[in-house]
Amino acid sequence: MKKSLIAMALAGIVSAPAFAATSNVDVYGRMHFAIEDTDADNVDMDIKTNASRIGFKGSEDLGGGLKAIWQIEQQFDATSSNDTAFGGNGLRNTFVGLSGGFGTVVLGRHDTPYKLSTIKYNVFADTIADYAAPRLDGVNLITGHSRASNAIAYMSPNMSGLSFAGAIVTSMDQLDAGKSVDAYSLSGGYANGPLTVDLAWENIKALSGDDREAWKLGAGYSFGNAKIGAIYEDVSNDISTDRDSFFLVGSYGIGAIVLKGQYGQADVGNTDMKAWALGADYNLSKRTTLFFVVGNGDNDIGDDVTGWNLGMTHNF
């Protein structure tokens, strides 16, 4: 008995450093599944794994208010036919960096400041009516939603409601690897009480020579249980057609239910694209939500498409 107790104590001493080394690691993720159907030709009802993901992140206190931070995040698709753990889906924000009173600096793969600046207004994110990646006749209301590899990014602290962020991208697969810097992305925001204002700009050097410059302005206001928002975006391309778009969004909370709606229109050359969506969330808890969304997209080229999602999200 005495030898067993000694062995257990020694085992605890040996394992303690390993436990301490991993004690600041958080495992997190999102399950985001939905039934989807549209009236598009030759498209059947399906199950979508809407950007479900799993991640690991942590930090180390370096003293003097400085921390080392890191994150690994991977998207997966439980409805994929290739029977792999992650269904051939991509790596999400994965980086290492430093954080302190000066703000945060990260190196690796990260959403651009341009993308992050107005993501708060994307109330149907990752669904059939996502404002940047919809499945409604290809109508993208807002563009420039890049997750950049080889990024060097800085995010400022909040300074009395003001904040800003900037990133340079040294190379991306779809950009010109011969250039030392392929993209610049900048954003600034103001949030005070019910008001938010966001301004962003980016410039991308493309391998095809079709360089892209874009800017957008977003604003939102909350009053009582209601929230409204708007975005205007202007995109200039060297070769392909320029575009400008506007986007309106609103939501209203009634207890556990949140009613949501959006409308947007994009002018791409002589093509007038438009889309709308309505939906509702029912919050079963702080982490689990049932949702329904129905929307329509019309790109002025083919038939317009109406579709819907009925699904559930769980954050862990």
Mean pLDDT of 224-231: 97
pLDDT value, residue 271: 86
> Tokens at residue 10, please?
């020694």
> Tokens at residue 198, please?
């966001």
Residue 49 lies in a domain: no
Residue 230 lies in a domain: yes
Number of structural domains found in the chain: 1
pLDDT value, residue 171: 72
Residue 244 lies in a domain: yes
3-class SS string, 132-149: CCCCCCCCCCCCCCCEEE
Residue 314 lies in a domain: yes
Residue 7 lies in a domain: no
Q: Which residues pair with 14 in a beta bridge?
A: none
Residue 122 lies in a domain: yes
Evaluate whether 189 touches 197 at the Cβ level (below 8 Å). yes
C-alpha span between 250 and 262 (Å, rounded): 6
Condensed to tens digits (0 to 9), the pLDDT of residues 33-75 reads 999 999 988 888 999 999 999 999 999 999 999 999 999 999 9
Share of the chain above pLDDT 90, in %: 68
Q: What is the CATH number of the domain that holds 265?
A: 2.40.160.10
Residue 3 lies in a domain: no
Q: What is the pTM (predicted TM-score) of this model?
A: 0.87
Res. 145 pLDDT band, cuts 50 70 90: confident
Residue 60 lies in a domain: no
Share of the chain above pLDDT 70, in %: 86
pLDDT value, residue 84: 60
Residue 6 confidence (pLDDT) above 50 = no
Task: Give the CA count within 13 Å in the CB-facing half-sphere of 130.
Answer: 14
Evaluate whether 309 touches 35 at the Cβ level (below 8 Å). yes
Residue 11 confidence (pLDDT) above 70 = no
pLDDT value, residue 87: 53
Domain housing 278 = 109-143+189-316
Residue 131 confidence (pLDDT) above 80 = yes
pLDDT value, residue 178: 55
Mean pLDDT rounded to a whole number for the chain: 88
Contact partners, residue 6, CB within 8 Å, separation at least 6 = none
pLDDT value, residue 23: 54
pLDDT value, residue 24: 84
Condensed to tens digits (0 to 9), the pLDDT of residues 194-227 reads 999 999 999 988 777 788 999 999 999 999 999 9
Condensed to tens digits (0 to 9), the pLDDT of residues 90-114 reads 899 999 999 999 999 999 999 999 9
> Tokens at residue 260, please?
């949501």
Res. 137 pLDDT band, cuts 50 70 90: confident
